[in-house]
Chain A
Amino acid sequence: MVAGFGLSAAATHAAQAPSPTAAGGASTSSATPADDQAASELKEHHRHHHHGGVTKFIAMSLDTLGTDDSKRPQVEKLQSDLHTQMAPAREAEKSLQLVLADGMTAGAVDAGKVDAAIARLTTAADAAHGASLDTLNKLHAILSPPERAALVDKVQAHWEVWRQVNQEELPDGRERGGQLAELTEEAKLTPNQVTKISAALHTAMAGLSGKFDPKKGEAHVHAFSTAFAGDSFDAKAVTSNANGHLASRGATRMALFYETVTPLLTPEQRTKIAAGLREHAAYQPAPSAK
């Protein structure tokens, strides 16, 4: 279950507006999902788009940073630059999604083509880190300290969501908001299909958990966050690079999911799911910094 409310206990204080009350303590996730449409769509996005790792989290964070109007054109330009630097990885990801869509339509996914596409995606995502260093330095220079802090918080939020949907979420789980539940709704799965697919995913994904080390992602996010929040920043000093690791993990899990469910769907269902994959393949980010 993905990201619930942050909960923390705090001593009761007399209201003294506008001074803030001290709540203290960091938020923790709980069992209640923030299940609105924007949240649901973000989860689906992070299940299907892995072409930049932490660099992508940074670019996405600019979608909702809320910079003032005077610097918005500059921020949009830098966001566009980040997308350009991730473009080779995005093309590799597009190839992978089209291979999966073709396989879904045909009734069987070509594992060799999938592996080759994931390898290209991993290499390209890894390279996006080095390609983005100058852009990140420019971004730091034009943002105010509160905007930098907000950006860091958003990067950490994207990392948390990505980790939950690509690592922590049970692939065979039927919880509301989970990937199987989404597939059930989109393909109108029968209860019998849900049972078979859940069992098949449980078996197929069993060997995947040991192949991902979240500490690498954590190290990259932490190194970026610590450095970017400071008054001076040199992106070259952020030597952690988990972009390829995250891309490989996310893409592998995505591919394994569709490879596993393909033979258990009807032709009509496969056509519908393949269309959804082609829509993801058509994704082309554009500057949207607000």
Chain B
Amino acid sequence: MNRSLVTILTGVVVVSCLAAAPARAGINIQIFPPALFRATTTPVYYEGHAAYWYGSRWHYRDARGGWQTYNQEPRYLRDYRAQHEPQRHYYGRDSEHRH
């Protein structure tokens, strides 16, 4: 079995365990914006936080650096999302400024 297949299967097993065990324990799995997303996405400031729309939820870091998620979308953020396209920054060779 090649390494790629082992990696994929391992990922499937890990994700399955992560998803199943908390569900049995009555807790939710929260998905937060990863580094690649935060480094390329412009946030929206709301209630004193930089909020990111990711995985169909709004997320932000609290004062201690932990991630928080709005269970229901606040009206301000919902309206903002309806009126603005997501702002991503592209660093590809075609996107860079050249002289």
Instruction: Using CB atoms and an 8 Å cutoff, list the residues of chain A in contact with chain B.
Output: 1-13, 15-18, 20-27, 29-34, 37-45, 60-61, 63-66, 145-147, 149-150, 153-154, 156-158, 160-161, 173-175, 276, 279-280, 282-286, 288, 290
Contacts and interface: CB of A to CB of B under 8 A. Distances in A.
Contacts, number: 203
Interface of B: 3-4, 7, 10-11, 14-15, 18, 22, 26-45, 47-50, 55, 59-62, 65-76, 87-93, 95-99
B89 A38 contact: yes
Given A10-B27, A18-B74, A66-B87, A34 B50 contact: no
B90 A27 contact: no
13 contacts: A3-B36, A8-B29, A11-B27, A20-B70, A23-B32, A23-B67, A25-B66, A38-B88, A64-B42, A145-B48, A149-B50, A153-B61, A157-B39
A284 to B, nearest CB: 4
A40 B28 CA distance: 29
A277 to B, nearest CB: 10
A26 B33 CA distance: 11
A169 to B, nearest CB: 13
Contact of A288 (B29, B35, B89, B92): B89
B92 A157 contact: no
A283 B39 contact: no
